[in-house]
């Protein structure tokens, strides 16, 4: 059964990759999340990416 769900896939920057373009960890997270979504029949999904703020410096983000 295909479910008609809208799904948010959230990726966050790894502090280890903070000095590079789109970090390797973001690319890896996208691949893993997309595969999970497809495996579980979430076909309407959108990525939300915080590729510039890690949880370490979150206090300055509002």
Per-residue pLDDT at 60 = 54
Per-residue pLDDT at 1 = 61
8 Å CB contact between 2 and 42: no
In terms of Cα–Cα distance, which of 47, 62, 48, 57 is closest to 19? 57
Please report, in tens digits, the pLDDT of each residue of the chain (62 residues total).
666 778 999 998 766 665 565 567 888 999 999 999 999 999 899 999 987 665 565 555 55
Q: Per-residue b/e over 14-43, b at no fewer than 16 CB within 10 Å? A: beebeeeeebebbeebeeebeeebeeeebe
Per-residue pLDDT at 12 = 87
Per-residue pLDDT at 19 = 58
């Amino acid at each position: 059964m295909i479910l008609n769900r809208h799904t948010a896939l959230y990726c966050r920057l790894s502090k280890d990759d903070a000095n590079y373009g789109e970090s390797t960890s973001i690319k890896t997270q996208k691949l893993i999340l997309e595969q999970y979504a497809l495996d579980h029949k979430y076909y309407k999904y959108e990525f939300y990416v915080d590729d510039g703020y890690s949880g370490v410096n979150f206090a300055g983000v509002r």
